[in-house]
Structure 1
Amino acid sequence: MVQRLVASEPRSVLDLGCGWGELMLRILDEAPGASGVGIDLNGEDLARGRANAEERGLGGRVEFVQESATDTAHGPADVVLCLGAGHALSSAALPLATVEALRALRGLVNPGGRVVLGEGFWQRTPTAAELAAMWPDARADEHLSLGDLVDAAIEAGFRPLWVEAANDEEWEEFESAYRSDAEEWLASHPDHPLAAETRAKVDTQRASWLRGYRGVLGIAYLTLVPVVD
C-alpha cells in the first residue's frame, strides 16, 4: 500500500483519526519530499506519534494536532488517510456516517491525489445471536456490504483504484495481539486488586470476537482517486 501511494509522488499527507500515525510515517519515510499532518483527539497516541517521528528522523516533516477531524481546516492533501476513523467525520449513525465521511474526504483530497479509507463491512448478514454477542446495540444494518461500500465511494466522487480487505490470519493476529499483554499480566497476577476487572473486560472483548463478529465483520481498505470535477 505504501509503495502504491508514494508512486503518485505526494507532497502532503493528511491522516484523520491518526492515532500515532504509523502508516503516515511509513509513507513519509518513503517519500522524502512529503510532509504530513496527523489529527486525533487522543493526546497519548499523538505523543507516541511525535516520539516515533523524532526517532525516525521525521520530526521536522510531520505535525500531530490534537483536535476534531470534523470540519478540519487542514488539507486538502495529496494523500488522505482515514483508517477506522470515518466516524470522526460525521455525527450520523452508521452506515450514514460512512456515506457522509466519503463526501467529506472528497473535499479534502487534491486533484489527482489518493484517499485510503479503512472501513468495516459485513461479509454476510449477521444472525440475531451473533449481533447479541457483539458490541452493545449492534444492528444488522450498521454496516454496508463490500459492494455497497465501494458504490458509496463512487457516488461520493471517487473511482476505486484498489479494493482489498484484511484476511482471517490478519484478523486473528490483530485480535490476539490486542489482548496478549493483558492475558500475560493476568496469568502472573491472578490475585491483584485489578485482576477481576481486567479479566472481565478481556473476557468480554474476546467473546465479542469469537461468538460475534469473527467471520462476519470485515475490514476493507479502499484506495480511491477523485473524479475530475
Structure 2
Amino acid sequence: MENNELVSISQGALAIMNPTTPEKVLAAGRAAGLRKGSRIVEAGCGNGTILALWGREYGVSGVGVEAREDACSRAEETFRTAGLGDAIAVRCMDARAYVPDDLFDCAIAIGASHIWGGFAATLDALLSMVTDEGTIVIGDRCWGSDRTPPEFAREWPEVLTEYEILGVVREAGLDVAAVIRASDDDWDRYESGIWQSLLSWLAENPGHPERELVIDYLHRLQEEYFGYSREHMGWAIFVLVPGFW
C-alpha cells in the first residue's frame, strides 16, 4: 500500500487535515491581508477546505494543487458546494512540478512541507510562486523547545524549533506577521480523527491483504503520539510578509 493511500484512508474524511480549526485558518487569512481580488495558491490543498473558507470569507480566487486523485475530486466538490467553482481551480499533480502562469498574491502550504522535505525548502518553493509583495502562509510541525530528547529529535530530522524557523524566515528576507499555534485539544482532535478513520477502515475491510500494514500504521502513530509527540511536538501556522531589511 502506497503512502498516499494510507493518507487517504487515515485523513481523507477530515475536513482540515491538520491540528487546527476553521477559526484559526480564518485568522491566518486576516493576518495575511487577504481581501476580495487576492489570488491564492495552495500546495497540498487536500480536500480544499482552507481555500473554500478563504474564498467564502475574503472573496479570494486561485488554485489548489494536490497529488492524490481522490482528494482532488473532493476539493472540486468542496469548491462547487461553496459556490466557488468558477473562482478556485484544482491542479491534480505533484506540487513540485507546478509552475504558475502568473504569480500569486499569497502562497500557502498547510501541513504540506513533506512535499519539499522541510520548512526552508517549502518556503523557497512558495516564494517562487508569489509577487515581490506576496505573502506566505506555512503550517508545520515544530519542536516545543531546543531541549527535545535526542532519541525523539532523530526521528524527525526535518523538524525545526520555532527559533530556527524564525532564522530561516529572516534569512529569506521576510518577517513573521503572526503565529497561530495548535492547542492540545487541536492535537487530540486531529490525532483521534486519524485513529477513528483507520479503525473504521479496518472494520470495513476484514479480509484486505494489507490489513496488517494498516494495523501497524495505526499502532505506530499512537506510539509516536503518546510516546513523545504529545509532549514535545508543536504545530503552528506562520504568516510571513516581506521584511523591512
TM-score (norm 2): 0.76
Partners of 1:26 and 1:138 lie apart in 2 by 34
2:149 to 91, 111, 127: 127
Q: Which residue of 2 aligns with 1:138?
A: 155
2:180 counterpart of 1:164: yes
The residue number in structure 1 matching 2:57 is 30
Instruction: Give structure 1 stretches of 5+ with no counterpart.
Output: 132-136
1:130–1:211 contact (8 Å) kept in structure 2: no
Runs of 4+ aligned structure 1 residues displaced above 6 Å come to: none
Contact kept in structure 1, 2:39 and 2:104, CA below 8 Å: yes
Code of the residue aligned with 2:26 in structure 1: it is: V
In structure 2, stretches of 5+ residues that fail to align are 1-24
Task: Say which structure, 1 or 2, has more relative contact order (CA 8 Å, 6+ apart).
Answer: 2
Q: Can you list the C-alpha shifts for 1:163-220, whole angstroms capped at 9, x where unaligned?
A: 122111100110001111333565x67x933465543332222112111322211112
Cα offsets for 1:122-163 (capped at 9, x unmatched): 1134335546xxxxx715x43211011022111112110001
Tell me if structure 1 keeps the 8 A contact 2:41–2:62.
Answer: yes
Residues 209 and 110 of structure 1: CA distance in aligned 2, closer, same or farther (over 3 Å):
same
Q: Deviations over 1:53-72 (max 9, x none)?
A: 11111111111002222253
The answer as to 2:112 corresponding to 1:85 is yes
Bigger mean CA deviation after superposition, 155-164 or 66-75: 66-75
2:218 pairs with 1:192 = no
TM-score after normalising by structure 1: 0.81
The structure 1 residue matched to 2:80, chosen from 54, 63, 88, is 54
RMSD between aligned residues: 2.6
Identity %: 21
Checking the alignment, whether the CA contact within 8 Å between 2:107 and 2:129 is kept in structure 1 is yes
